[in-house]
Structure 1
């Protein structure tokens, strides 16, 4: 199992950790801790970009994300589009707040969502 601890993205009032784990061939687990907003969305995009170098299904774990803003939703949507174009999937595991953001934005129609 390959695991890449995520660098912490910090700034004034900003703290985000994105860990990437590759438990087996063809899968990547991306765990996120912290708010996903305009100041952290690019960091998420960068970490997702690392995963798509090799063909895989990405499981994006947002259970520890209290807020998902429009910029982050755009990053998630773009990742889903890219994976779909290669016949791959993005699966999102999330709590009620992230689930609502995915639903309101329509991103939930483009990714598999498991709400816990």
Structure 2
């Protein structure tokens, strides 16, 4: 695991772990955060065959703006032939993911070890 660089935003830390770029979202992921995060997310997901883990464990609030970020990231990663995983343990965020169907296409994992060890997540499915 590489040492964490300084945060790009108060809502995002980026690090590399086992060949994956880990995007650790933090705090309230709402419309204001989404405006700040979208260009950062786009920069990471435009690379050829990106390997991404989005970690929501440090998120306190998550609304439809966060859902748009997740679906945008998934779409961009798959368009570039990459893999994407999601880590989430917060009960309310998990509920939002399930109700909206996002959990169907981007199944949340309980921890980093599970996400990094998941085979065949090119589609976002297990």
TM-score range, shorter chain: 0.7 to 0.9
Residue 86 of structure 2 corresponds to: 92
Greater fraction of residues in helix: 2
- Equivalence map 1:1-116=2 (5 Å): 1=2, 3-8=4-9, 16-25=10-19, 27-54=20-47, 55-95=49-89, 96-115=91-110
Structure 2 vs 1, CA of residues 75 and 29 (structure 1 numbering), >3 Å: closer, same or farther?
A: same
Q: In the alignment, is the contact (CA less than 8 A) between 1:66 and 1:97 conserved in 2?
A: no
Displacement of 1:7 in angstroms is 3.1
SS of the aligned residue for 2:35 comes to helix
- In structure 1, list runs of 5 or more residues that go unmatched: 9-15
- In structure 2, list runs of 5 or more residues that go unmatched: 112-126
Matched residue count: 108
Q: Distance in 2 between matches of 1:111 and 1:2?
A: 27
1:52-99 residue CA offsets vs partner (Å, 9 max, x unmatched): 243322111100112111011111101101112233222111122221
Normalised to the residue count of structure 2, the TM-score between the two structures is 0.73
Displacement of 1:46 in angstroms is 2.3
Greater fraction of residues in strand: 1
